[in-house]
Amino acid sequence: MGRINGLLLGALVLLATAVSYSATAPAHDVFVKFDTAIESTVFEFYVNLFKYLYHALIKTSELLESVLKDDTIVRNNNINQTKVLFQGYIAETTERLKPPPTNMTKLDGFLCIVANIHTLNLFGDIVKRYNTTSLPTPSDEYRLIEAALKRHGLDELINNLKIRKTEFINEFLLKMDIVVTDLSEEDKIKNHKLVEWYQNYRNSTEEQRANDIFTHFAQMYARF
Ligand SMILES: *[C@@H]1O[C@H](CO)[C@@H](O)[C@H](O)[C@H]1NC(C)=O
Ligand SMILES: *[C@@H]1O[C@H](CO)[C@@H](O)[C@H](O)[C@H]1NC(C)=O
Ligand SMILES: *[C@@H]1O[C@H](CO)[C@@H](O)[C@H](O)[C@H]1NC(C)=O
Ligand SMILES: *[C@@H]1O[C@H](CO)[C@@H](O)[C@H](O)[C@H]1NC(C)=O
């Protein structure tokens, strides 16, 4: 594990603790330990990623909760499987949103973000599953479920999450542009993995960047 990864893992513990206990903790309170600009910029990105995931898990879970209370869903006895699926998602997010253990190891901090990403992806699967536009012969039940999801704000939520994601990604790229340009040759070599990752990421389109943020995150840790 390279130096930057070690530092970032340390950062994850800090931010996992700080952000879980107070979702509104300002980033600058926790990244004072990061001496170089590139480290603090990446750390700030993680704080924002963590906050985003936290927010997304709460909102997606709330959406499914209100769908489960919808009249058309409550009185339908042919969609028990869907109800169980939604309840499972809500239970999993509740688990994710619990404060982390007090003596978290560095690995726990990293796994915490990975787990959050994994859970949020399950919501993506749900959205895909009940998207009747992309199904060849959607059943009445699927139409009913999709309609309930939309009535309770699915499209607005997806849109809102996309805007949030794009905002902090663009802010990150803007800062990284400056930081990487100002990097000394020595630091560029020291941080070459991060710089390469960033340049690759920089090169993708805005749409790809928003969609692939989690893939890119994983790539950054490919050596982990
Ligand atoms: C679905 O669940 C309800 C309530 O638990 C039950 O009455 C009903 O028989 C179930 N439907 C099916 C198709 O299993
Ligand atoms: C966490 O705390 C428990 C109980 O004090 C201790 O046994 C354990 O070794 C700690 N774990 C780490 C990683 O520090
Ligand atoms: C549903 O599927 C269609 C067609 O594949 C796609 O254009 C649309 O964005 C999807 N909707 C959602 C909410 O994902
Ligand atoms: C970024 O895109 C430019 C132009 O397509 C290309 O020349 C360059 O090699 C790419 N950089 C990376 C790191 O992929």
For residue range 167-222, list pLDDT tens digits in order.
Answer: 888 888 899 889 888 888 888 888 787 788 788 778 877 777 666 655 655 555 44
pTM of the model: 0.75
CA atoms within 13 A on the CB side of 12: 20
Q: In this predicted structure, which of 26-35, 38-47, 64-73, 205-214 has the lowest mean pLDDT?
A: 26-35
Say if residues 207 and 51 touch (Cβ distance below 8 Å): no
Q: Judge if the beta carbon of residue 202 lies within 6 A of ligand 4.
A: no
Pick the more confident residue, 104 or 24. 104
First-last CA distance in the chain: 6
Greater model confidence, 4 or 83? 83
Q: What is the mean pLDDT of residues 6-29?
A: 43
The number of folded domains in the chain is: 1
Best probe residue, ligand 4, of 203, 205, 209 (max atoms within 8 Å of C-beta): 203
Position 90 scores a pLDDT of: 98
pLDDT at residue 7 tops 90: no
Rounded Cα distance, 111 and 196, in Å: 24
> pLDDT tens digits for 99-143?
765 555 555 556 677 788 888 889 999 999 999 999 999 999 999
Average pLDDT of the residues in 12-26: 42
Per-residue model confidence (pLDDT) at position 17: 43
Say how far residue 99 (Cα) sits from the centre of its chain. Answer: 17
Location of structure tokens 């809500």: 90
pLDDT of residue 46: 76
Name the residue at shortest CA distance from atom 9 of ligand 1. 77
| Top-confidence residue, 98 or 55 | 55
Question: Where is mean pLDDT largest: 23-37, 52-66, 96-110, 199-213?
Answer: 52-66
Range of the domain at 92: 2-222
Mean pLDDT to the nearest integer, 149-166? 94
Is the CB of 131 within 6 Å of ligand 3? yes
Give the span between the Cα atoms of 223 and 201, in whole angstroms: 17
More confident residue, 3 or 130: 130
What separation in Å is there between the alpha carbon of 168 and the centre of ligand 4? 23
In the predicted model, is pLDDT for residue 5 greater than 50?
A: no
Neighbours of 119 (CB within 10 A): 20
**Which pLDDT value is given to residue 157?**
97
Alpha-carbon distance of 95 to 112, in angstroms, equals 11
Average predicted confidence (pLDDT) for the chain: 78
Q: Is the CB of 81 under 6 A from ligand 1?
A: no
26 vs 165, more confident: 165
